[in-house]
Amino acid sequence: MRQCFALVLSVAVASTLPIVATAQSGNVHIESGEAATPNRARKQDRETTAKPPAAVPARQSRQRISAPLDQMIGQMIMVGFRGTGTKSAGVKAVGGQLRDGLIGGVMLLEHNITGRAQLRALTRFLKRSAAGRPPPLIAVDQEGGRVQRLRNRNGFASTRSAKSVAANYSADKARTVIYAKMAGQLAENGINLNFGPVVDLDITGTRNPIIGRIRRSYGRDPDVVLSYAQSFIDAHRARQVVTAAKHFPGHGSSLTDSHKGFTDISRNWSESELIPYRQLARNDGVAMVMVGHLYHPTFSDGPGQPATLSSKAIRDWLRRRLGFKGVVITDDMEMGAIRKNFGFRDALVRAVAAGNDILLYANTVKSDPNLAVRIHAMIQRAVANGTIPQRRIEDAYRRIMAMKDVWLRARTETLEN
């Protein structure tokens, strides 16, 4: 029964179903061409378990949306916050923003988590704050190894790094022994989005300060990476936890850290880094893709412009050439690659116009409780003055609502009963 339900989920996440307005459905933030040959593609098809029927015809995705513009914009915004309980100013602020429809989700960092009872109370409060609206995304980075917010020191079970998992377990064992436990721990504590798996290839090894050196990649071979990533995704799907493959178009070939500043991957990047994304898109295998703040002229709209802010990366490559139909989310928009090179409003507008469906802000630079209010107002003004077409907002809203309607409604109803 669970396998059948998983199959249905993967179909609907990828489909751009028409959505109506009444659908209810510390800590450093570390994130956030040769085509596959026929033989390689066949091998990948055997390793990929989710193979749903064809998606709903594209013509259905252009039906008129009756949702108010401010509600649609709100679903595109995800922010972090300070605090662990309902008495905290940061928690109160995001609770009110969820209630008012100014945001569609939040991300938790380790400073938001002190224990099981506390985390369950926090996520319950966040879900109840959004009562009467689409269920909120409550997200963490829970990859394992260096990047995990739920760990032994705050009362949870820690998980091995991707490199350690690949070295010690088969992909099938990883799903049943490692990732089923991880996904269960998230679901039981009210978290419904995991920013993983990492599908970056280990191209530059320990010279890479943010992927290879801290063991976040499953390996250099795209077939190996894909098989473990699919195990990660399938285990989470079974517990109705959304996953986000990252970091498109590939952070494994960098020599610098996009958290700290401009990151050019063009010297070492290989088209093999697209293979996991191509295969996941082909099989409708993941609900979300996270785009990295990575510069490569192939994926850039102009000199120095990273993939996150480039329609060439998202609309041309990820959507059109690779065929991904799900939700696209930015890496943290406060990272150095963006913050040190673009103005706040400029980056925001470019990210929406480029084709990102959700903008992610960790909110750690100044920890502003009203950050989401500012973001929402800026997007609304940009639509009003024609800088961002309203159709861009509607397209994002359709995809987000399709994902939430399928992945989150059942989970929310279970928690409330």
CATH code of the domain containing 166: 3.20.20.300
Please tell me the predicted confidence (pLDDT) of residue 66.
72
List residues with catalytic annotation.
259, 331
Provide the residue range defining the domain that includes 252.
Answer: 2-17+65-416
Per-residue pLDDT tens listing for the chain (417 residues):
434 333 333 333 333 333 333 333 333 333 333 333 333 333 333 333 333 322 333 333 455 677 899 999 999 999 999 999 999 999 999 999 999 999 999 999 999 999 999 999 999 999 999 999 999 999 999 999 999 999 999 999 999 999 999 999 999 999 999 999 999 999 999 999 999 999 999 999 999 999 999 999 999 999 999 999 999 999 999 999 999 999 999 999 999 999 999 999 999 999 999 999 999 998 889 999 999 999 999 999 999 999 999 999 999 999 999 999 999 999 999 999 999 999 999 999 999 999 999 999 999 999 999 999 999 999 999 999 999 999 999 999 999 999 998 877 644 444 444
**Are the C-beta atoms of 249 and 299 separated by less than 8 Å?**
yes
Alpha carbon separation from 96 to 81, 286, 416 (Å, rounded): 12, 31, 20
36 in a structural domain = no
34 in a structural domain = no
The DSSP call for residue 152 is G
Identify the three-state secondary structure at position 289. strand
Please tell me the predicted confidence (pLDDT) of residue 63.
59
Single out the residue of 171, 209, 187 nearest to residue 43, CA to CA.
171
**Are the C-beta atoms of 28 and 259 separated by less than 8 Å?**
yes
The DSSP call for residue 358 is B
The DSSP call for residue 60 is G
45 in a structural domain = no
The pTM of the full predicted model, rounded to 2 decimals, is 0.84
28 in a structural domain = no
52 in a structural domain = no
Backbone angles phi, psi at 138, to 5 degrees: -120, 110
Please tell me the predicted confidence (pLDDT) of residue 339.
97
26 in a structural domain = no
239 in a structural domain = yes
Pairing mode, if any, of strands 242-248 and 359-361?
A: unpaired
**Are the C-beta atoms of 150 and 184 separated by less than 8 Å?**
no
Q: Which residues contact 366 (CB under 8 A, 6 or more apart)?
A: none
Q: How far apart are alpha carbons 19 and 413 in whole angstroms?
A: 20
Please give the tally of structural domains in the chain: 1
Please tell me the predicted confidence (pLDDT) of residue 64.
63
The DSSP call for residue 334 is T
23 in a structural domain = no
